[in-house]
A and B are shown apart, each in its own frame.
Chain A
Amino acid sequence: MIDVMLILLGVAGVWGIGMALAYFLFHKISTSTEKTFEFAELLGLGIVFGFGGTAIFYLLWGIIGLSFSLFLAWVWMGVGIAAGAGTLFLLSRNRKQKDNKPSPSSASDREFRSLCLGVLFFLAVTTVIQTLMTPQRFWDERAIFGLKSIVIFEDGTILSESLHDPDFVQYHPKYPLLIPLNEVHFYLLLGEVNDRWSKVLFPLLYLGMVLTFLGVLLRSTSQKILAWMFALMLATVPSMVPWEYGFLSGQADGPVACFHTVALLYLWSFLRAMNNPISNRSSSKNSLVIAGLSAALAIFTKDEGIAFFLIELIALGIVTLVYFRSQLSSMAGSIFKFALTVAIVVAPWFYHRNQLPATTEMTYFSRMSTTTLAGGSAAFFWAIQHLFHRMFLEAWRWGLQWWVLSFSILAFPSRARKPSQLFLLLNLLGALSALILAGIISPTPVQEHIGGSSSRFLIQISGIAVLFVAGQWISEQD
């Protein structure tokens, strides 16, 4: 029972820190009377930034050579709870002060929204319970992340001698530390290692992703009911939940899906605003910082995050050249702002990463040569066929998102050419190309490399597919 209380308090602290950070970001641009964020968005980003902020805090604390202790975890938790309570107080005070007109929705719309809220609550609770019903038991969650979190907890530092010994770490010693450091926070609060309780962060990131998605859609459209429907669609992608390698496990694919989806959600929101002359441009600029923070957290979770970030930059560049040539300097500034945010947040991690040993790293960039690529045609065709099979012919198992995405393009081909939608499509194509390229150049046979990981990789981009679908069906006047 004490464990449950500590975990609940720990979660409240993490959530509070994140909400305070998100509120600070929103508040900077909320001088106008226009509504700049939704409550669901604040709650969702609270979770996303809460876990991200906790890991970054522990990383910086560790880099400067200070040790992790029970006291530190309690202080962080206390500060988080106070910051969260303060944020909620400020929020309620500001809402009272502002002239909040009642929303023009009908009674039946409100009843439907309460039904959706009930379903979302049910899904969140069952996901948390299902996650906590199993300890960490898969390869990656123990070999890559869990092992490091226990060592850091026991040694009280990320500078542990063991983590610098390749014969101890063995598997991906250079892998990012967002998951291990959050697990360490819970181990410190509990005073012991319990690899079941530490899994609580995964279903919460699922909830954070869904709430942020809902909030941004609610803010972006007047079609509130459709926003709720698409948020519920995101919450029920089977490969995310309840597939056991999704958000129910301690693998990194769920968290990467969360951070990557949130990053693209804000870039999508930014591009929609850029394409809409009457929208609030100042709030859209803020989207870039939030997108940058989230993209940085994806990099700090798993190395795929680096590829996703590069793809985002390329896609932004293409969209700028195609649609915003007249605003080239302004768009270049925006892209720079996004990239700079990412660079600032991940810089400490890359500084630390340079000191870690390298074994079992696939070193994709150095493997990229014309000979490797030329010799990979068989792997290329195998990968294409395999991905098609997994995305479309096994839809009953992984979800309908790829079918629905295809139907949505066919239903509204002109909407798919809008900057925000094209940007998402470019990201999806880029991610799939990167996976295939990785399969061709990796030292492991493609059948094992992509065959064994494609379903997990597709989790990471399924949120983008649902966002694209939402963008297609939400009508043009928005």
Chain B
Amino acid sequence: MSFPIRIILILLSIVSVPCFLFVWLMPVEFFQSWMVERASPDRYSRYSAYEQAWVLWAILRILLPAIAVFSVLGLIFCNRLSRFLENCWRTVSAWTSIDREGKRDSKRTILFRFILWGWLCLGLFHLSGGLLRRIEDWPWYHFDSGPAVLPNISESNRDVIRFLEETTDKNARILVVSDQKLFFLSYYLLPRRLFHPMHPGSEFVIPQKNQQRQLLAYRLSDLDAEYISRISPDYILEYFEGIDFIEKKRFREDRRWLQFLRRRYGDDFQPTYNVRLRKYHPSMATRFQAKPESAVKP
């Protein structure tokens, strides 16, 4: 067994030592430009390639020297290494050999070894898959916490979160009427408290991306004054994106929202969904007296 191990180690050394020197001598910009040149021309792909190049470079700077050191040490202590591997192999062979009544049970032995090899191969496949997935994820997550990244939510949710962060007090209570489930807004806006009366018809409905499934929701006019007083909000937010609820004429009603969007996306930007935030004062309660037939106590 010593000979094939020696050959493998020599090959590993031949590959890893020059590669390790190359990775350590070349600047990260070299790898980044190489990756960006090969990426799709869109902005996201180029950004992704640029960031992935950095993380690959960092991993290789650790991994390649480790492999180089291992292969060189392996060559120096080749006899000990091959003895170790031979012992391990012998142990696996002995313990995976199934005996029944003092005789070797070859069918079960083959099955057991087949299972172990299959498991090992699938494990290695998934281990490398996991590593690749983390490299793919790196551009979007880095080592940031959730509030810095606002991961896995729609761009409109992100905008509303940033808008509320900018315009409301840190400990504000915000009453929200919306045709979306707003856990993520609530999660990232803490310590602000968002109160969102959920329509019973939406309770067990799983939302889909881009409002493909319209949820039932309360409008502000559906809520009665008593309910609003109980929540005692500092602000009231109306936020609708679904086709059944948007009111095109009111897209630009909230000037601060419009200003916020235009600061982010340019002066010509036109909103495509409703966001209206207003400060609430208890004296305004009478304004929310809903029509008797539609008043709802959620």
Contact = CB atoms under 8 A, between A and B. Distances in A.
Interface of B: 84, 87-88, 90-92, 95, 98, 108, 111-112, 115-116, 118-120, 122-123, 126-127, 129-131, 133-134, 137-138, 141, 143-147, 149, 151-152, 181-184, 186-187, 190-191, 193-198, 203-206, 231, 298
A143 B115 contact: no
B89 to A, nearest CB: 9
Interface stretch (A29-37, A50-58, A76-84, A167-175): A167-175
A147 B183 contact: yes
A233 B119 contact: yes
A306 interface: no
Interface string A240-262: 01111000100000000000000
A236 B119 contact: yes
Nearest to A476: B100
B269 to A, nearest CB: 28
Given A108-B88, A108-B91, A134 B137 contact: yes
A164 interface: no
Contact of A167 (B92, B152, B196): B196
B145 A443 contact: no
Interface in A161-183: 162, 165, 167-168, 170-171
Contact of A400 (B122, B131, B186): B122
Given A154-B191, A236-B123, 11 more contacts: A133-B143, A135-B145, A137-B149, A143-B187, A147-B186, A150-B190, A165-B195, A167-B231, A242-B130, A243-B126, A362-B204
Given A225-B95, A242-B130, A452 B149 contact: no
A130 B134 contact: yes
B206 A448 contact: yes
A195 B146 contact: yes
A412 B203 CA distance: 48
B259 to A, nearest CB: 29
A167 B187 contact: no
A359 interface: yes
Given A108-B88, A196-B144, A229-B95, A404 B183 contact: no
A114 B90 CA distance: 14
B284 to A, nearest CB: 19
Contacts of B98: 473
A135 B181 contact: no
Contacts of A314: none
A167 B130 contact: no
Contacts of A443: 203-204
Contacts of A394: none
Contacts of B149: 135, 137
* Binding site secondary structure of chain B: helix
Contact of A147 (B145, B187, B198): B187
A372 interface: no
A388 interface: no
A171 B133 CA distance: 30
Nearest to A170: B198
A136 B147 CA distance: 10
A90 interface: no
B48 to A, nearest CB: 16
Most chain A beta-carbon neighbours within 10 Å: one of B108, B146, B196, B204: B146
A183 to B, nearest CB: 12
A400 B118 contact: yes
B187 A473 contact: no
B195 A168 contact: yes
Contacts of A142: 146, 183-184, 187
A152 B152 CA distance: 24
Contacts of B119: 233, 236, 400, 404
18 contacts: A111-B87, A111-B88, A126-B130, A133-B141, A137-B146, A142-B183, A143-B187, A147-B190, A162-B193, A167-B197, A168-B194, A170-B181, A170-B183, A238-B123, A238-B126, A362-B204, A404-B119, A444-B204
B12 to A, nearest CB: 18
A379 to B, nearest CB: 15
Contact of B129 (A108, A242, A359): A242
A135 B126 contact: no
Contact of B187 (A112, A132, A146, A194): A146
5 closest pairs, A vs B, by CB? A242-B130, A108-B87, A236-B123, A143-B183, A135-B146
Nearest to A167: B195
B95 A411 contact: no
Nearest to B141: A134
B101 to A, nearest CB: 11
Interface string A189-207: 0000111110000000000
Nearest to B105: A411
B90 to A, nearest CB: 5
Most chain A beta-carbon neighbours within 10 Å: one of B92, B108, B122, B231: B122
Nearest to A135: B146
A404 B115 contact: yes
Interface string A104-133: 001111011001000000000010001011
A448 B204 CA distance: 11
B130 A241 contact: yes
Contacts of A150: 187, 190
Nearest to B149: A135
B123 A444 contact: no
A360 interface: yes
Contact of B137 (A109, A133, A241): A133
A336 interface: no
Most chain B beta-carbon neighbours within 10 Å: one of A115, A133, A407: A133
B116 to A, nearest CB: 7
B130 A133 contact: no
A300 to B, nearest CB: 22
Contacts of B187: 142-143, 146-147, 150
B122 to A, nearest CB: 6
B67 to A, nearest CB: 14
Contacts of A223: 95
B186 A168 contact: yes
A392 B141 CA distance: 34
Contacts of B95: 223, 225-226, 229
A330 B32 CA distance: 69
Nearest to A443: B204
A441 to B, nearest CB: 12
Contacts of A248: 130
A106 B86 CA distance: 14
